[in-house]
Amino acid sequence: YLDRYGAAYEEFLRYLEKQTDLYASAHTWKDYVEAAKDIGLDLTVHNVLFPKKLATAHDEVIKIRKLKAMEIEQKKAAERFDKLMKLYGMEKDGYFIRAPHDCAEIIGEGKALEHCVGGYAARHANGETTILFMRSAAWPDKPLYTIEMQGKELIQVHGYHNRTAPRDIPAANEFFESWLKWVKGGSKRPKLHKKTKETERAISA
Please list the ranges in the chain whose pLDDT falls under 50. 192, 195-205
Asked if residues 73 and 34 have their Cβ atoms less than 8 Å apart, the reply is no
- CA end-to-end distance (rounded Å), the chain: 55
H helices of the chain, in order, are 9-17, 22-38, 46-49, 54-88, 103-113, 121-125, 170-184, 194-204
DSSP 8-state code for residue 164: B
* pTM reported for the whole predicted model: 0.66
pLDDT of residue 23: 62
Contacts of 109 (CB under 8 A, 6+ apart): 100, 117, 118, 131, 133, 143, 146
Give the CA distances from residue 90 to residues 81, 94, 151, 164, in Å, rounded to whole numbers and listed in that order. Answer: 14, 11, 16, 21
pLDDT of residue 22: 62
Cα 14 to chain center, whole Å? 42
pLDDT of residue 202: 42
